[in-house]
Amino acid sequence: MSNNLNHIVWHESEISKSDRRQLNQHKSALLWFTGLSGSGKSTLSVELEKVLFEKGIHTYRLDGDNVRHGLNKDLGFSPNDREENIRRIGEVSKLMVDAGLFTLAAFISPFREDRNRIRNLLDDHEFIEVYVQASVEVCEQRDPKGLYKKARSGIIKDFTGIDAPYEEPANPEIIIDSETQTVHQSVQVIVDYLEQKQLIYL
């Protein structure tokens, strides 16, 4: 395997990320939504995508469950599989940012090291960590997919927040308190951030 890798050479494109951004008339970045299951990551990313689309922003949304139907269908939920799940999404997201897209990735991604590894794949200001904050108690009350109930009964093992840890972001770019903020308010917080950082318009 290693000998074969020695013969792999990067093939440069004649169209750059800057060219694609100029064509789109906006910059590109990865908005990484992290938080417990049931915190509202996917709901928020769906609504934000609609708002950005209406503004003429080229977007694509990656969701934890959706990706496990295809790209990561071979992975389970062991620590190693979780790490590989996030690694693959990071590489896909990097490609999408290079393509000039605002990429919205909604993943529990419980470990800081995994999230920081993705941050390091991208250029400065291209990784925007959005911590969708909600307590285990509130998420368990919501339990939209019935996962907490299954975890409590032992049907699901290594469930984040119950018998597997979640490491809160140390310095996220954006914190959304989904216990007190509506989805509309949360979307506006993110849009305001993108406008303040001059990411939406060139």
What pTM, to 2 d.p., does this model score? 0.89
Q: In what order do the strands lie in the sheet with 102-106?
A: 59-63, 102-106, 29-34, 127-133, 174-177
**Is 190 inside a domain boundary?**
yes
Instruction: Reply yes or no on whether the pLDDT at 202 is more than 60.
Output: no
**Is 53 inside a domain boundary?**
yes
Catalytic residue among 109, 135, 178, 186: 109
CATH assignment at residue 101: 3.40.50.300
What was the pLDDT predicted at 201? Answer: 78
Residue-wise pLDDT tens digits, 99-143: 999 999 999 999 999 999 999 999 999 999 999 999 999 999 998
The residue with greater pLDDT, 5 or 148, is 148
Calculate the average pLDDT of the chain. 90
Look at residues 164, 31, 157, 166 and name the one whose alpha carbon lies nearest to residue 108: 166
Instruction: Reply yes or no on whether the pLDDT at 93 is more than 70.
Output: yes
Whether 109 is catalytic is yes
What was the pLDDT predicted at 164? Answer: 87
Look at residues 20, 42, 174, 171 and name the one whose alpha carbon lies nearest to residue 104: 42
Look at residues 34, 32, 175, 168 and name the one whose alpha carbon lies nearest to residue 109: 34
**Is 188 inside a domain boundary?**
yes
**Is 80 inside a domain boundary?**
yes
pLDDT (average), residues 149-168: 90
Q: Give the residue numbers of the binding site for ATP.
A: 35-42
Residue 84 token pair: 């590989």
What was the pLDDT predicted at 2? Answer: 53
| Residue 85 belongs to domain spanning | 15-135+166-196
**Is 107 inside a domain boundary?**
yes
CA angle (45, 195, 172) in 5-degree steps: 55
Q: How many domains does the chain have?
A: 1
Integer Cα distance of 174 and 32 in angstroms: 10
Q: Give the residue numbers of the binding site.
A: 35-42
**Is 95 inside a domain boundary?**
yes
**Is 116 inside a domain boundary?**
yes
Residue-wise pLDDT tens digits, 5-16: 677 776 677 788
**Is 108 inside a domain boundary?**
yes
